[in-house]
Amino acid sequence: MPEEAGFPPGKRFRPGAGPLRRAGSCPHGRRMVMLLTAGGGGGGGGGGRRQQPPLAQPSVSPYREAVELQRRSLPIFQARGQLLAQLRNLDSAVLLGETGSGKTTQIPQYLYEGGIGRQAIIAVTQPRRVAAISLATRVSDEKRTELGKLVGYTVRFDDVTSEDTKIKFLTDGMLLREAISDSLLRKYSCVILDEAHERTIHTDVLFGVVKAAQKRRKELGKLPLKVIVMSATMDVDLFSQYFSGAPVLYLEGRQHPIQIFYTKQPQHDYLHAALVSVFQIHQEAPSSQDILVFLTGQEEIEAMSKTCRDIAKHLPDGCPSMLVLPLYASLPYAQQLRVFQGAPKGCRKVIISTNIAETSITITGIKYVVDTGMVKAKKYNPDSGLEVLAVQRVSKTQAWQRTGRAGREDSGICYRLYTEDEFEKFEKMTVPEIQRCNLASVMLQLLAMKVPNVLTFDFMSKPSPDHVQAAIAQLELLGALENKDGQLTLTPIGRKMAAFPLEPKFAKTILLSPKFHCTEEVLTIISLLSVDSVLYNPPSRRDEVQAVRKKFISSEGDHITLLNIYRAFKNTGGNKDWCKENFVHSKNMMLVAEVRSQLRDICLKMSMPILSSRGDTESVRRCLAHSLFMSTAELQPDGSYATTDTHQPVAIHPSSVLFHCKPACVVYTELLFTNKCYMRDLCVVDAEWLYEAAPDFFRRKLRASRN
DNA sequence: GAGCACTGC
């Protein structure tokens, strides 16, 4: 039995109000409009219902009345008049709304009902597909209209809108893609950027795009573009400043109070501390109260789940039983769904999760949150082009987000497995994604939008010049850029690359494929590479997996192996039983087919000939060598590998079919630093093909490695 | 020699 974790008496906080209240009393010298101060009340509001299945179309009037009553019971309803008066006259506004305020479902309706933005479409962006879909469903329901008429949504592979659509929910990435064909966003009268505090790379680029569109439309005397930035956290100064001091409207939500406990001492072993906390809660709290634990990754979560189950078996009589549920993105869907089911009476649910439960998945009934304060996240080093995946401290905003997961239906309790002093030293905000990613895609999209100067683009949080330069250099290598009168512009190839919803190097692979008569094969391979792995590897059945997979393995590498798997899948007519027998994720495989058909359509629109190499895998590998030549590694005399360009020591990832092989020269699709620098998805190539592909590049780079 | 946080077009 684990010993006491030793928490001092807790303080009472309202997680929303904790950081929020400070801002309320300290308006940062800008205009802060307090719209609502009375929180509380029953019923669930709009923004918080993401994970619920879309509601059925209402058909009976008592239901309609209930919907209307529910709308009126939302805290935001009392501020409706004030809100409309404000928004009517503003070009830009920042709306700070706590979770449960109903801002996402209500604001677009208020605008529409108030006749604001009716001349065109009101767009509401979301970082996630499920959110866009379920919000559109919810709002069309409230408006008593059929989904896709007045209210609709657009996400990749799924456009449920019509000529009548006036309120449109869409993913931020989708609106960005639309901006490539119309950078003034002429279809829209109003763009609402929701969940802005998440600072996804797409939302961040959109900030710049809508700001430029707003300005340009004004200059041209066109329909004004209203921009509303919605955020659930306090860091709204940046948003307000960026939109020339746009006023901040504040909406109180419906969060319940949460007690927060810090540890007395720093915890050196956060896993042990988490374990102790779980069982401490388990022995004290009623069994109906569920626990959510935040850890960093699959391996950790599976190990902790097993330990919890083992300990739970040997608890004294009278202790409730425990249902331990791991939760992470690569967990098969059916197992993810288990976290939404209620535990049997007298049994406590303990959900052990990655940060997927911070934003993407909302679980009802959580009373306790155990926050280790750790997260696994990607960092990017523009010098080396290396992506590093590392366990690190969360930011304060992230910690607040986790805490808030305890107070969604009722008051809650959060155990923070770090001291208050440690918490004070956390970074204020998570570094926005745009400063942590390879920017090649972003730069290609901005160039496709004909942004006057991508090097000085008005980002809200600017990536470093090195970072931008690295992306430009990569696009140059791919032949996407040319310099016209001192101005960077896209080449015809570059323009075509931007049409694909892919990383630039993958788009280039497809565009090169006709030259090698292998477009059919390349479309398949690129589709497989651009979704989550279709290979399912349950650790307990490793021998079985290996035996089954043997028949697909190609000595030419992972790309050809993946191609073999896809072909076998297609030959069986794509059935689920085949997937199960062969340890293939059927959901991901279905997605591959969808992606492939989308990419194929884009090729057809460009009048690309779509040919098959008919079993000639060498031409496929040549095509990969010609497009991925900047990502190559060579075998060294001592049996290790080093990248061709920077001589970075690298290793073959254990998931590769080439793990036990020693090919002389490979191209890889990704380099990832975890414990070591690993190459993922390798293809055996001939060094001569690489010279052919990029003689200049290799004259410079290969000489050193040959000497 | 041994492993992958989360989204999205």
Q: Which helix (H) or strand (E) holds A280?
A: helix A270-284
pLDDT of A462 above 60: yes
What are A164-173's pLDDT values in tens digits?
999 999 999 9
Give the C-alpha separation, A337 to A332, whole Å.
9
- Output A373 or A23, whichever has higher pLDDT: A373
Residues 153-212 of A with CB under 7 A from strand B: 155-156, 171, 173-174, 177, 200, 202
Arithmetic mean of pLDDT, A511-533: 96
Residue A231 forms beta bridges with which residues? Answer: A96
A680 CB below 7 A from strand B atoms: yes
Residue A321 forms beta bridges with which residues? Answer: A347
pLDDT of A34 above 60: no
What are A381-436's pLDDT values in tens digits?
877 778 888 899 999 999 999 999 998 888 999 999 999 999 999 999 999 999 99
Arithmetic mean of pLDDT, A21-32: 29
Residues 533-552 of A with CB under 7 A from strand B: 533, 537, 542
Q: At the top level of CATH, which class does the domain A24-251 belong to?
A: alpha beta
Residue A32: name the closest of A86, A75, A81 by CA: A86
Q: Fold identical between A24-251 and A258-433?
A: yes
Arithmetic mean of pLDDT, A332-336: 86
- Contact status, residue A368 vs residue A406, Cβ threshold 8 Å: yes
- pLDDT value for A16: 35
- pLDDT value for A3: 41
Arithmetic mean of pLDDT, A664-674: 92
- Contact status, residue A277 vs residue A3, Cβ threshold 8 Å: no
Q: Tell me which protein residue sits closest to nucleotide B6, measuring alpha carbon to C1'.
A: A356
pLDDT of A477 above 60: yes
Structure tokens at A462: 């600017």
Q: What is the percent of chain A where pLDDT is above 70?
A: 90
A303 CB below 7 A from strand B atoms: no
A664 CA to B9 C1' in angstroms comes to 35
- Contact status, residue A108 vs residue A124, Cβ threshold 8 Å: yes
* Structure-token match 């940046």, residue found: A238
Arithmetic mean of pLDDT, A81-88: 92
**Burial class for A101, CB neighbours closer than 10 Å (0-12, 13-18, 19+):** buried
Helices (H) and strands (E) in chain A, counts: 26, 25
- Closest-lying nucleotide for A376 based on CA to C1': B5
Please state which of the ranges A32-41, A52-61, A661-670 shows the lowest mean pLDDT: A32-41
Name the phi and psi angles at A260, rounded to 5. Answer: -115, 130
Summary mean pLDDT of chain A: 87
Structure tokens at A118: 């009716």
Nucleotides of B under 7 A from a protein CB: 1-9
Please state which of the ranges A50-54, A480-484, A530-534 shows the lowest mean pLDDT: A50-54
- pLDDT value for A29: 28
Taking CA atoms, A288 is separated from A49, A320, A369, in Å, by 22, 9, 14
A128 CA to B3 C1' in angstroms comes to 28
Q: At the top level of CATH, which class does the domain A438-498 belong to?
A: mainly alpha
- pLDDT value for A98: 79
User: Could you give the 3-state DSSP secondary structure of residue A689?
Assistant: helix
Q: At the top level of CATH, which class does the domain A258-433 belong to?
A: alpha beta
- pLDDT value for A214: 97
- pLDDT value for A702: 54
Taking CA atoms, A94 is separated from A1, A166, A248, A460, in Å, by 50, 22, 5, 14
A352 CB below 7 A from strand B atoms: no
User: What residue spans of A351-464 are helical by DSSP H?
Assistant: 356-359, 396-404, 420-425, 440-448
The domains of chain A are located at 24-251, 258-433, 438-498, 628-707
Residue A506 — left, alpha, or beta (φ > 0 → left; ψ -120 to 50 → alpha)?
Answer: alpha
When pLDDT is cut at 50, 70 and 90, the band that residue A69 belongs to is: confident
